[in-house]
Structure 1
Amino acid sequence: MATVSAMQAICGSTSCLLVSWFVVMAGLTMCGGSVSSRSTGGLSRTRLPAGPQLLLQHSRNVTARLNGTAILNCRVRHIGGRQVSWGRGFEVLTGGLTRFADDRRFQPLHQEYSEDWGLRILSVRRADAGWYFCQVSTSPPVSHYLHLTVVEPRVEIVGGPDLYINRGSSANLTCIIRDAHKKPENVRWTHDNKLVQFDQARAGVRVRTVHEMNHTVSYFLIVRALPSDSGEYFCDPDGLEQVKVIVHVLNDDHPAAMQTSGHSGPAAGPGSALRLLTCLLLTLMWGLAALARHTQTQGGTNKQ
């Protein structure tokens, strides 16, 4: 009341008092950064927006596969009218939605009202691996560095490209996925354009996929193989190229046809070596006997 009486004495009128009151409140707002007000719900506080903030949990390193697409992202809150630029080393690749790089594979990504500012890299090459930075146009600029790792996935079926099994026996096809940029959620096996997991005509098959630290392994078990199980089998992981193996189911009366990839014929075992040694010994003994007979014949001729 004393403050109001003093202001009224200075102004000399009620209108001057109201103007002075608003000027004081505006000064408090500008200097204090907040204004408190009472409402039916209690005391509420309205704060001025803070400066740009980089959300690091949404701005992480990226792993991409060779020839695939990589998207680096920086999430910035309270950016206001500022923009985000992307660069590598001393080269500025993009600024806002403008591309500065001569390489058209580098593209800026941003949607209105979104906090995400991205850099898309098409047809990723090995040389694209390394450190990149996103930079907010503040004074001084705020920068954040991200690392891009480029991997080349390898998918193979152990023992391929041809596998030979006897009729009635079991075969385990093993597909290994190495150096994938992410673990494939699904690994499908197909035979004659059918998913073997859902082929009602063949109940004796089992599929199991295991995710390990650095690779994924998918097992396909054929129980009691039939001639109809012969043919091409494809291992098809999500997002990666498929590989195939050709399975040959043989009758039991053709053991000589059993072989694996990389061999032109049946491998020689201990039995074959023994037979070869016996043959050599017999040949040597026959030669010695023939030499002895020849010697005796020559001796009889000389005596006459």
Structure 2
Amino acid sequence: MSLRGSSNQQTCLTGFLADGSSSSSGVVLTASSIIHRSHHHSGHAVDSWGDKDTEEGKDAGSRPPNALLPGAMKPLPPEQVFLSENCTVVLAQTGSTPIMHCEVADIGEGTVSWIRRKDYHLLTVGLATYSSDDRFFTAHVRNTQDWALHVRFAQESDAGLYECQVSTHPPTSLFVELQLVEARAELQGAPDKFIKSGSRLRLTCLLRRSTEPPVYVFWYHERSMINYDEGRGVQVRHGRYSSELVIEEARKVDSGNYTCVPSNARPASISVHILNGEEPAAMQHGSKSSSSPSRCIQHLVTCLALVASLRIQLGR
């Protein structure tokens, strides 16, 4: 699951406007020009703008990719090409499969391509993956007009701006910003928890910065997974973004390290101490410090009694 929102317009539109025109760099890269550049470097001499052996091809090769051909129709405004909102933000967590939507109107024989803006890498053309990184693929999600880009096992390096480009004349683009966060587990009361033997042990694991619920949450006592250890009285209950472990009558053998391991987040650990009537060291130190004033008073009374006794003896 991905969370969507509005992007910062200035960030989204830096350098390129939604209609494919340039706001600062003077150059607009299209999917076909990226394909030509790739083919040119690999030894191919033909691009999609024309045959370079003809005068028309020469003119086309020197013409900016977004320039109007002689007699071509005026460009369509983006709102007539895209049904999706421009400059949106998709927030997802690392390791998940974020989805960036690009829903278009009837574009006839036009094609939809996805380009990664930070390195102008062409990812997909239509439903075909052009990139050597097969984590990227396009699939119809809402309907056949939604050319949604998927990123399997998303990494932090995948964050950034992505361009959905339709091969109108000139090309028309929609931009989506992908933001990635790393989810983590958090155990309440960590790093140490003290309870008396025979008491109820309850551990609560919360998922922080998670954009989707985990597939599973495993609990470990030391190195053993204990989700289904009914012999020890272990009960595990799962919420959408939380998990709880309960042992009704904890015993000394239940002491040790407990780890919460969600499927899609960094694990968290806590050290549990089961006490047989004795108090934790921290509480013992506290009781000593709290009783120290009364002991000082006792010492003071004793000292005063000694001084009085000495005076009486000297007076004799």
TM-score after normalising by structure 2? 0.57
Which structure has the higher relative contact order (CA within 8 Å, separation 6+)? 2
Q: Any residues of structure 2 matched to 1:91-102 within 5 Å, and which? A: 92-94=120-122, 96=125
Unmatched segments (≥5 aa) in structure 1: 1-51
Question: Which of 99, 109, 125 is 1:80 aligned to?
Answer: 109
> Conserved in 2, the CA contact under 8 Å of 1:105 and 1:123?
no
Report the CA distance between 1:174 and its aligned residue.
0.9
Q: 1:160 deviation in Å?
A: 2.4
Q: Call closer, same or farther: CA 1:132–1:145 in 2, change over 3 Å.
A: same
Q: Percent of counterpart pairs with the same letter?
A: 27
Cα deviations by residue, 1:45-71 (Å, 9 ceiling, x for unpaired): xxxxxxx964639x9742222576655
Amino acid at match of 1:86: I
Q: Which residue of 2 aligns with 1:153?
A: 183
Which residue of structure 1 lines up, in the alignment, with residue 254 of structure 2? 229
Matched, 1:291 2:307: yes
Structure with higher Rg: it is 1
- Whether the aligned pair in 1 keeps the contact of 2:159 and 2:177 (CA below 8 Å) is no
Partner of 2:156: 124
Deviations 1:234-253 (A, max 9, x none): 2121222322223333323x
1:196 aligns with 2:221: no
Question: Which residue of 2 is the match for residue 247 of structure 1?
Answer: 272
| Structure 1 vs Structure 2 CA RMSD | 3.9
Matched letter for residue 182 of structure 1: E
Distance in 1 between the 2:217 and 2:176 partners? Answer: 31
Q: With the length of structure 1 as denominator, give the TM-score of the two structures.
A: 0.58
Distance 1:87 1:200, change over 3 A: closer
Task: State the distance in 2 between where 1:226 and 1:139 align.
Answer: 74
Q: Give deviations 1:284-304, integer Å, cap 9, x for gaps.
A: 12222222333344455xxxx
Q: How many residues align?
A: 226
1:56 counterpart letter in structure 2: S
Structure 2 partner of 1:10: none
State how far apart, in whole Å, the 2-side matches of 1:219 and 1:110 are: 38
- How far 1:184 moved relative to its partner? 1.7
CA distance 1:294–1:224, change in 2 (3 Å): same
The residue type paired with residue 276 of structure 2 is N
Contact 1:166 1:251 in 2 (8 A): yes
